[in-house]
Chains A and B, each alone.
Chain A
Amino acid sequence: MPEGMPQNSGFMVAAYITAAVILVTYAFLLYRRTLKP
């Protein structure tokens, strides 16, 4: 990363992980619910 740029990649990683967890969990729960409606 170039010098002088803000060091905040932790927030980026947290956001990407959170989004993936929410969407994949919802996809999985929806799949489970459609197996036994």
Chain B
Amino acid sequence: MTLLKTGRWITAVALALLAAVYVRALAFTPIERAQGAAQKIFYIHVPSAWCAMLAMGLVGIAGILYLLLKDPRFDRFGEASAEVGTAFSCVMLTTGPLWGKPIWGTWWTWDARLTLTLFLFLLFLGYLLLRGAVTDRGLRARYSAVLGICGLVLLPFIHLSVYFFRTLHPQPIVLKPSAPSLPGSMLVTLLFSFGVFTLLYVGFVTQRYALAVLRESAESGGAHA
């Protein structure tokens, strides 16, 4: 099976499982008493934030490996991961305010966590704009790698910002040194959602990587013709 077909299959399976996440979260997971139904946004907001951060982390690691090894596969992977990360950032930045409005009473506040996640989204956009603006392949890969590494450096600040600064955003309840502070049924739904979103990320990136390979072979074919 080709990389493209593998990516399509993974994406199709992940989208079907996403429907299962929706059913489990909406129908079979208890409603939190203090926040009401809006708390269920948690099951899509947190995994999408995880995928956005995973995407940027891997863009940064691919950037480091590209600068060390000069292997174009890392550059291609960085491009794929950045585009997919942008999509997950959009989910994170739209579901967040929809959760914040009923709970905090405001759509948005310029505190450290929210501002840094917006900055992450803008870094993704900047990365993609940079790739579109530089035509020389080698330069584009090098500049993109450096920007990706900047994104990687940003990630610990995003995760730890809720400890360092006063913020409305809740502190981590799963990715923390102590045990997750969540009832069992809610934790199962969250972990299921984490798995499905990660699978969706893998499917998207596989397809996007295959697309980059196809484009490059078409370009080099056109150059030879």
Interface residues, chain A, with chain B CB atoms under 8 Å away: 1-2, 5-9, 11-12, 14-16, 18-20, 22-24, 26-27, 30-31, 33-34, 37
Whether A15 touches B98, Cβ cut-off 8 Å, given contacts A9-B37, A30-B211, is yes
Whether A11 touches B26, Cβ cut-off 8 Å, given contacts A22-B87, A22-B90, A37-B211, is no
Q: B33: which A residues are within 8 A, CB to CB?
A: 2, 5
- Kindly state whether residue B153 has any CB partner on chain A within 8 Å: no
A18 touches B95 (CB 8 A): yes
- Kindly state whether residue B11 has any CB partner on chain A within 8 Å: yes
A9 touches B38 (CB 8 A): yes
Q: B15: which A residues are within 8 A, CB to CB?
A: 23-24, 27
* CB of A2 to closest CB in B, whole Å: 7
A27 touches B36 (CB 8 A): no
A30 touches B98 (CB 8 A): no
B11 in complex: contacting residue of A11, A27, A33, CB < 8 Å: A27
A30 touches B90 (CB 8 A): no
Known: A6-B34, A16-B40. 17 other contacts (CB 8 A): A5-B36, A7-B36, A8-B35, A8-B102, A12-B38, A15-B45, A15-B98, A19-B48, A20-B18, A20-B22, A22-B91, A23-B91, A26-B84, A31-B8, A34-B4, A37-B214, A37-B215
Q: Which residue of B lies closest to A33 (CB)?
A: B211
Inter-chain CA distance A15–B101, complex, in Å, is: 12
Q: B66: which A residues are within 8 A, CB to CB?
A: none
Between A and B, 30 residue pairs with Cβ closer than 8 Å are A2-B31, A5-B33, A6-B35, A6-B38, A11-B41, A11-B99, A11-B102, A12-B26, A12-B37, A12-B38, A12-B41, A15-B94, A16-B41, A18-B94, A18-B98, A19-B91, A19-B94, A19-B95, A22-B94, A23-B15, A23-B18, A26-B204, A27-B15, A30-B11, A30-B204, A31-B11, A31-B207, A33-B211, A34-B214, A37-B215
Q: A24: which B residues are within 8 A, CB to CB?
A: 15
A6 touches B36 (CB 8 A): yes
A27 touches B91 (CB 8 A): no
B44 touches A19 (CB 8 A): yes
Inter-chain CA distance A31–B99, complex, in Å, is: 31
Q: Which residue of A lies closest to B219 (CB)?
A: A37
Q: B37: which A residues are within 8 A, CB to CB?
A: 1, 6, 8-9, 11-12
Q: Which residue of A lies closest to B12 (CB)?
A: A27
